[in-house]
Amino acid sequence: MQVAALYRHPIKSLLAEPCDALEIGPDGRIIGDRVLGFRFDDTGPPDDTEWRQKTWFASLQHSPDLASLSCGYDPASRRLWIRFPDTDAPIEGSIDELGDRLRIEHRFNQWYSSLADTPSALGRRKLPLRLVGNGTDGRFHDTSAGLATLHSRESLADLAKAADLSELSELRFRSNIAIQGCTPWQEFSWIGRHIQIGQVQFRVRKTVTRCLATHVDPQTAQRDIDIMGTLTRIIGQDQPQFAISIIAKNPGTIQIGDEVTVI
């Protein structure tokens, strides 16, 4: 088995940033992953960077149009860019410059406020959305543990077959690591075990329960496939599960092509 693709998600709920390598920090989290987020104004001050549930943020689960945005973040220079679907030129700036942060916030709110059926449009949350996060600490995962996620392309292919599709984009599952060379759903048998990837050893914690975010096509930003129903009704799972959560036991680097060994 080997690593086929690597991804990080600098901004919570925005599209993945493909990477040739991922750095694991001393805290066991992927450097540059889920380090920023756009949080609703009524959920706390901008300097509050503690973990909060996804409903406090602009979230793909509730706002599929977020899939139409692309973004990137360089942890070294601490510069962020976001490209919106209505323009070719991205907005970019330093997250350490207040003026840049406010400019990025303003552009994001300008775009987001035009969307229908968002939590703010339905009166459940209040705008503006604030850009939160220090760009270093991965605080904005779906769980407070900040776990990385992994799936196999064999499981992905089996799920596509169950959905009567020739292929299925792995980007909709927002995993950090995609591997190949195993049997479909084999990764589910690793719960409680350790795996070695490159320089890093991980402990496999649990399977990942999926939500409406997986129904969104990352290319069209439209809900198009009932992933949860396919996992339960067609594949026969009790709960819709895809991918596994893993926690690093040591810092280091993992790269595309690294061997994956179950210990």
Asked whether residue 79 carries a pLDDT value surpassing 90, the answer given is: yes
- Three-class SS of residue 185? coil
Contacts of 138 (CB under 8 A, 6+ apart): 27, 29, 30, 31, 33, 34, 35, 146
Alpha carbon distances (Å) from 3 to 41, 104, 256: 39, 34, 5
Which amino acid is residue 254, in one-letter code? I
Confidence label for 4 from pLDDT (cuts 50, 70 and 90): very high
Q: What is the pTM of this model?
A: 0.94
Asked if 204 and 195 touch (Cβ cutoff 8 Å), the reply is yes
Coil vs helix vs strand at 143 = coil
User: Residue 102: left (phi > 0), alpha (psi -120 to 50), or beta?
Assistant: alpha
> What distance in Å separates the CA atoms of residue 67 and residue 212, rounded to the nearest whole number?
13
Mean pLDDT of 43-70: 90
Which tens digits make up the pLDDT trace of 81-122?
999 997 888 999 999 999 999 999 999 999 999 999 999 999
Q: Residue 145: pLDDT above 90?
A: no
What is the DSSP track for 30-82?
A: BTTSS-BEEEEGGG--TT--S---GGGB--TTT-GGGGG-EEEEETTTTEEEE
Model pLDDT, residue 17: 93
pLDDT tens for each residue of 9-55: 999 999 899 999 999 999 999 999 999 999 999 998 888 888 888 88
Cα 208 to Cα 10, 122, 202, 247: the distances in Å are 20, 29, 16, 13
pLDDT at 78 over 90: yes
Domains in the chain, CATH or no CATH each: 2-27+143-262 (2.40.33.20), 37-132 (no CATH)
Distance between CA atoms of residues 133 and 49, nearest Å: 6
Q: Are 51 and 139 in contact (CB under 8 A)?
A: yes
Tokens of 38: 């756009």
The per-residue pLDDT for 45 is 85
Read off the pLDDT of residues 213-244 as tens digits, 9 standing for 90 and up.
Answer: 999 999 999 999 999 999 999 999 999 999 99
